[in-house]
Amino acid sequence: MADKPRKQRPSRYRDIAGKLQKEVRLGRYGVGDLLPTETELMAQHAASRQTVREALRILIDQGLIVRRAGLGSVVIAAEPPVLFTHSVTSLNEWLRYSNETYREVVATREITADRKLAGLLKCEPGKHWFLIEAVRRADQFAAPLGWVEIYVLRKFAGVVKRSDHGRAPVHEQIARMFGQTTEYAQMEIFARGMPAGIARALKVKPGSPALTVVRRYYGLKEELFEVTVTTHPEGRYTYSMDMQRSLRPRA
């Protein structure tokens, strides 16, 4: 039986970070100014010290502030830098985007794969899909990080109605709602010219350099049940992967 979608409130620290981002963007705290102290922020937002520190960490990660020992949180930029770096250290992280980003759904529809689309998805021509189109963002003020096309089997279309749809990876939502597990996955990364159909939404010129990431998710009996295609404009997204050689004792 499918799980019922749960209503989830935004994390408290994200809410505080969003308010601070807005205040910096609107000039209440200019470049070089100090943000209120942790104690002052705790009182203003009725939050714990840990919650406030998590909120400030988001602003640090976005390049808006730096912490100076004995001084406090100093504003160093009014807008987050456009570039977003995604560092991967585990298989779970490889299958998902950073938790600091989210998807903003633009449109949904049913679609049948023609030969060109089938080649991209690696499915048979004529296969039926439910398509979710969205913009990926780091926050509501910064330029979009990329355009997302999520193809799922039509029987899984209900994931788009979940309250956590924009934040959680779709393959995880499918697992919760329908019990569909991911047995293995593939990822491809390649460069191409920015498609004209999505250039305007990303605020770039058609044909400009773009990075495309394709993730394919397979269930039991090698059934392809989801394909996610994300296209990033040049200079807005970096995919970083850390690897370490495993030392094994000799036989």
Same domain, 117 and 179: yes
DSSP state of 249: -
Number of domains in the chain: 2
Would you say residue 51 lies in a domain? Answer: yes
119-128, 177-186, 216-225, 242-251 — which is least confidently predicted?
A: 242-251
Same domain, 50 and 150: no
pLDDT of residue 68: 77
Q: 215 with 146: CB under 8 angstroms?
A: no
Give the β-pairing of 237-241 and 84-88: parallel
Would you say residue 1 lies in a domain? Answer: no
Would you say residue 177 lies in a domain? Answer: yes
Dihedral in degrees, nearest 10, Cα atoms 243, 224, 84, 203: 150
Same domain, 124 and 186: yes
Would you say residue 94 lies in a domain? Answer: yes
Same domain, 174 and 67: no
| pLDDT tens profile 59-92 | 887 778 888 777 889 888 787 655 444 444 444 5
Same domain, 203 and 160: yes
Same domain, 70 and 112: no
| pLDDT tens profile 111-127 | 999 988 998 898 888 89
pTM of the model: 0.62
Counting other chains too, the contacts that 118-122 makes at CB distance below 8 Å and 24 or more residues apart are: 120/214, 120/227, 120/229, 121/151, 121/216, 121/224, 121/227, 122/216, 122/224, 122/227
Query: Mapping DSSP to helix (H, G, I), strand (E, B) and coil, where does residue 137 land?
Result: strand
| pLDDT tens profile 92-101 | 555 455 567 8
Q: What's the CATH code of the domain at 46?
A: 1.10.10.10
Q: What's the CATH code of the domain at 184?
A: 3.40.1410.10
Would you say residue 130 lies in a domain? Answer: yes
Same domain, 229 and 151: yes
Same domain, 47 and 112: no
Would you say residue 7 lies in a domain? Answer: no
Same domain, 158 and 237: yes
Same domain, 219 and 97: yes
pLDDT of residue 98: 59
pLDDT at 251 over 90: no
Same domain, 218 and 106: yes
pLDDT of residue 236: 83
Same domain, 188 and 116: yes
**Band of residue 30 on the pLDDT scale cut at 50, 70, 90:** confident
Out of 75, 92, 119, a domain closes at 75
C-alpha 45: how far from chain center: 27
**Band of residue 130 on the pLDDT scale cut at 50, 70, 90:** very high
pLDDT of residue 148: 97
Give the domain extent around 174.
Answer: 84-241
Q: 119 with 139: CB under 8 angstroms?
A: no
Would you say residue 247 lies in a domain? Answer: no
> Alpha helices of the chain — where are they, by DSSP H?
12-25, 38-45, 49-61, 91-94, 115-121, 170-178, 196-202
